[in-house]
Amino acid sequence: MDKSRKEALQRFCKKVKIRFKNLELLDLAFHHRSITNEKKHIQNNERLEFLGDSVLGIVTAAYLYNNFENPEGDLAKIKSAVVSEKALAPHAIEFGIDKLLILGKGEEATGGRSKPAILADCMEAVIGAYYIDSGYKNAEKYVLEFIIPEIEKTLSDGIKDYKTQLQELYQKQAKKCPVYQLVSKTGPAHDQTFCVNVLLGDKTFGPSQAKSKKQAEQLAAKIALDYLKEQK
Q: Which residues are catalytic?
A: 53, 124
Angle at 70 between CA 66 and CA 73, to 5 degrees: 110
What are the φ and ψ backbone dihedral angles of 48, each rounded to 5 degrees?
-65, -40
Helix (H) or strand (E) holding 179: strand 179-186
Helix (H) or strand (E) holding 193: strand 193-200
- Can you tell me the distance from the alpha carbon of 33 to that of 24, in angstroms, rounded to the nearest whole number? 17
**Who's near 107: CB < 8 A, 6+ residues apart?**
32, 34, 118
- Amino acid in position 96: G
Q: What is the 3-state secondary structure (H, E, C) of 69-135?
A: CCCHHHHHHHHHHHCCHHHHHHHHHHHCHHHHCECCHHHHHCCHHHCHHHHHHHHHHHHHHHHHHHC
DSSP conformational letter for 207: E
- Can you tell me the distance from the alpha carbon of 117 to that of 226, in angstroms, rounded to the nearest whole number? 41
